[in-house]
Amino acid sequence: MAFNKILVTSIVSFLILATASAQLSSTFYSSSCPNALSIIKTATVAAVKTEARMGASLLRLHFHDCFGCDASILLDDNSTFTGEQNTGPNANSVRGYDVIDDIKSEVEAACPGVVSCADILAVAARDGVVALSGPSWTVQTGRRDSWTAVASDVLTNIPFPTFNLSQLLSSFSGKGFSAKEMVALSGAHTIGQARCTTFRDHIYNDTNIDSSYATSLKSNCPSVGGDDNLSPLDPITPKAFDVNYYINLMSKKGLFHSDQELYNGGSTDAQVKTYRNNAATFRTDFASAMVKMGALSPLTGSSGQIRTSCGKVN
């Protein structure tokens, strides 16, 4: 029965993905706003040059929007709804809103009312990865922006850093991703930083962590207090998109509990080893998984709107 449920869920996810992909296009703005992609790239590269962490932040912002890909995460709370920005794993954590707002202003000046915030976020996430020496991929565009945001969606759609392997597999498979794609997407944790509160339990209570690594983290993440103190997800090359994330996992140096679950004697160990030993395979698989993620249930056609300002509906 459980197998049939997973099979049905996967089939439905595939059909939704196939329909969305057919409505998106890599040339969507070629006539209506031909300079859109170059404007986004220039602004993103400048933002990452100013602060390397921003590349990871924009990627994470896109990921947390996607399992929907409709720019709902960009909407500020208002009298009508409580949005996604201050809920669950997004609260005091997801960032980069100001960069997207700045890019939106530049794009609006060139092509008023044409390019969606959802597309700007998708393209900026790609450009941020490339700026940190990561792989590129063709971003399909044509998404439209949502009219609202639902805070509870965050709690049901976004994997938590405390998840075990079974929970991770369930979360990703529910969106149509294979275990291989999940491990590839998790490689995004080769860049960026995380707050002490998100990994404190792992370094103080888990046993599947290198003791010297845990000790080094405790110096900046006390058992009480210091919730917002930052540590790099990859202590080796925190500003470069590479395979050191997988090297870390194989050395029991995953920052999150959920990270180390990918290499903890379970079904994903072999895939971690594959990426650790073959950077080209990782880069290709990551790029493919990002294209797939970007096509998850977007609003297209006449659905949604093209917001003038990403933080509020028109």
The catalytic residue positions are 64
Determine the Cα–Cα distance for residues 121 and 124; give it in Å rounded to an integer. Answer: 5
How many CB atoms are closer than 10 A to CB 147?
17
CA nearest neighbour of 192 among 128, 98, 105: 128
Length of the chain: 314
Identify whether the C-beta of residue 283 lies closer than 8 Å to the C-beta of residue 291.
Answer: no
Helix residue ranges, H only, 24-133 = 36-50, 53-65, 97-110, 117-131
Q: Where are the alpha helices (DSSP H) in the chain?
A: 2-23, 36-50, 53-65, 97-110, 117-131, 151-157, 165-173, 179-186, 196-205, 211-218, 244-250, 257-261, 269-277, 279-294
Distance CA 243, CA 189 (A): 10
At residue 299, the 3 state secondary structure works out as strand
CA separation for the pair 233, 53 (Å, rounded):
11
DSSP string, 8-53: HHHHHHHHHHHHHHHH-BTTTTTTT-TTHHHHHHHHHHHHHHH-TH
The set of residues, in sequence order, having a beta carbon less than 8 Å from that of 55 and lying 6+ positions away, is 48, 128, 129, 131, 132, 134, 191, 192, 241
